[in-house]
Amino acid sequence: MEIWINPACSKCRSALTLLDAEGADYTVRRYLEDVPSEDEIRAVLDRLGLEPWDITRTQEAEAKELGLKEWPRDDAARGRWIAALAAHPRLVQRPIITAEDGTAVVARTDEAVRDALSR
């Protein structure tokens, strides 16, 4: 399993602590340094079963500068959202865990981390 984290994020640190406590085998991806490509973001969205606007941190300053709250949330705009996430990785919700079974979860709670561990 892989976990996308921002080390400054308390939710990410909590998820790592729980993974360690459970003895999980995982790889850390510091996605602000190792920025996911548009294709990687698409793949994670498919694994999550979500749309790009569902994993976008719209309260970030970059989101406000881009005017993301005003962007359409439809199939025609999907590529634009994905491009924005790849260009501005700080906008990606975190942490995201890609599970062994090919799925993924946004692991902001202990329950979500445990869910990823059970897959």
Active-site residues, by number, are 9
CB–CB of 71/77 below 8 Å? yes
CB–CB of 35/89 below 8 Å? yes
Q: What is the CA radius of gyration of the chain?
A: 14
